[in-house]
């Protein structure tokens, strides 16, 4: 049953990746919780395709980003995918979701998320590394995330804050 729903969903997203109306239909037909559930599948291909579909759905739609983030344990499931082979796809999805400030705050609060992003930021895969760095920049807009980044030996945002403070202190 789940594989049939999944196959239909994958086919419709693949066919209509550029047709906004079809993507909205997928988002509004309550398939998002099913896709989040598929992130826990043991089959790598299913997990990868679920991440791809979620990324397609989230792109350029704040409403869909919020729908994804509001599914129970969605952000946690995506962050867990950072630890596996699907990390590149997971970081791309998290980057897209982080364009929403409220979701960005929730991403930074998850245990080990920033640590895995810091590790990924020096990945050999250029795209994954770039996405991880961009996501870290988004997360650095919140002070509590800067402290977590420093704990993970990623000091760039902390140094930027300190240099701004020194500049303002000594410029008077």
Rg of the Cα atoms in the chain: 18
Question: What fold characterizes domain 2-170?
Answer: 1.25.10
Q: Tens digit of pLDDT for each residue in 18-41?
A: 556 556 766 667 789 999 999 998
Distance between CA 76 and CA 107 in Å, rounded?
Answer: 8
Distance between CA 121 and CA 30 in Å, rounded?
Answer: 33
Query: Of all residues in the chain, what percent are helix, strand and coil, respectively (each to 5)?
Result: 75, 0, 25
Structure token digits, residue 20 = 């906004």
pLDDT at 129: 96
pTM of the predicted structure, to 2 decimals: 0.84
Placement of tokens 């804050």 in the chain: 161
Domain ranges of the chain: 2-170
Q: Tens digit of pLDDT for each residue in 116-162?
A: 999 999 989 999 999 999 999 999 999 889 999 999 999 999 888 88
Which letter, b or e, does each residue of 132-161 get, where b requires 16 or more Cβ atoms within 10 Å of its Cβ? bbbbbebbbebeebbebbbebebeebeeee
Instruction: Report percent pLDDT > 70 for the chain.
Output: 79
* Overall average pLDDT of the 61-85 stretch: 93
Q: What letter would DSSP give residue 85? A: T
In three-state secondary structure terms, 9 is helix
Tell how far CA 158 is from the center of its chain.
Answer: 22
């Amino acid at each position: 049953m789940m594989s049939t729903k999944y196959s239909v969903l994958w086919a419709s997203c693949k066919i209509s990746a550029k047709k906004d109306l079809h993507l909205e239909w997928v988002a509004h037909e309550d398939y998002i919780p099913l896709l989040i559930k598929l992130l826990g599948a043991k089959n790598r291909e299913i997990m990868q395709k679920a991440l791809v579909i979620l990324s397609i759905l989230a792109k350029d739609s704040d409403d869909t980003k919020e729908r994804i983030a509001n599914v129970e344990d969605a952000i946690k499931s995506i962050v867990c995918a950072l630890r596996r082979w699907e990390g590149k796809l997971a970081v791309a999805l998290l980057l897209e979701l982080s364009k929403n400030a409220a979701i960005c705050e929730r991403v930074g609060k998850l245990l080990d998320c920033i640590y895995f992003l810091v590790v990924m930021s020096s990945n050999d895969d250029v795209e994954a590394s770039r996405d991880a760095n961009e996501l870290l920049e988004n997360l650095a807009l919140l002070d509590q995330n800067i402290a977590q980044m420093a704990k993970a030996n990623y000091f760039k945002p902390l140094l930027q804050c300190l240099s701004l403070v020194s500049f303002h202190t000594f410029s008077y």
